[in-house]
Structure 1
Amino acid sequence: MLNNTKLIIYTFLLLTITSCNSQDKRPLMGETPYQQKLNASYKDASKSPLKKKDLKNFKGLDFFPIDSTFIVTAKFTKIENAPTFEMATTTDRKPLYKEYGLLHFTLKGTECELTIYQSQDDLRDEKYKDYLFLPFTDDTSGNESYGGGRYMDVMTTDISENNTAVLNFNNTYNPYCAYNDRYSCPLTPRKNHLNVNIKAGIKTFKKY
């Protein structure tokens, strides 16, 4: 059995270790699980697209306030027998895509339509074969949000049996080119511009 002196020392050491461990476990940055996951990946040097100086000073990505009015249900129309085409990028790279379908929805009283794409390279990868690619620009592009547009991931499994899909513009992200010009990123097609201010999701990145 420990005597009183040893017990006091033992308790002090235990509290010190616990306090240190608590300080190491800093809370994840972000208001939602989506934002926290995105911030965590950008903070991780092994995954982050950030340049070294930006990573060193990284304190989290900037987002618009969460706004439930930017969560909409869209009507999906499949595009049958769509041809494969080379999508323009920020470099000479020309990845192969197909137009997968059209999404029709109303946002802030404005009738909107976006074309959703399917990467032909992703079809060969079991991990990403169900991913669809939804790039868009809006009236905040080039000001509060990245000029090249923002992206949203939609899964084929997100499209319901009655051909609808929920689009959450709070869960958008920038192409890697917004952070580092060494990346090659698809350019948002002009027809995917929305004549509305999408003040939701990721903002433009302020580089150091």
Structure 2
Amino acid sequence: MYCATTKGKILTPIDSFSLDATYFRHQGKNYYLWAQKDPAIEGNSNLYLSEMANPWTLKTAPVMLSKPEFPWETRGFSVNEGPAFIAHGNRVFITYSASATDENYCIGLLWADKASNLIDPASWQKLSHPVFTTHRQNQQFGPGHNSFTRNEQDEDVLVYHARNYSDIEGDPLYDPNRHTRIKVFNWNEEDMPVFGEPAADN
């Protein structure tokens, strides 16, 4: 018989708002990846990474991998959140979402060599433009907060949410209609992901 034990929240050195934590395993090591507000840094949330000692304890001091700095990351709110990990070829990648959760919401990209020290911020590069954004012609607004899976054909699939309208009353965070969508994506010759555009609902 299996008995679960509640261990409480994972403690980080900053006692502040945090969200969107995820876990991944790479080259025999376990990692914790999340978004958190640092009161000493302007903006709403940044991305942090730490190696884990066990499923409820951080082994290494958290390192900040990204903070909102480009115009497309600071529209409405200065946000980096919703990180997701994927490996391909000789690289590893972290996607994340940026800006307010209206039509400005979009997906950015970090990457590192798969053999590098992932908890060294210098190992990571950050793309200066978003990789998945609003597409008005397809009536897809604010695609973001993604994850990854594979389908029955062994293709990589982007899972994300978006709206099919842009007119929102009040704070877009409280608009309930960010519905889940999926999209098969490919890789280019440089082993970089090519997400294309969010497809129309039909």
TM-score band, normalised by shorter chain: under 0.3
Which of the two has greater strand per residue?
2
Structure whose CA Rg is larger: 1
TM-score normalized with structure 2 length: 0.27
Q: Which has the higher contact order (CA 8 A, sep 6+)?
A: 1
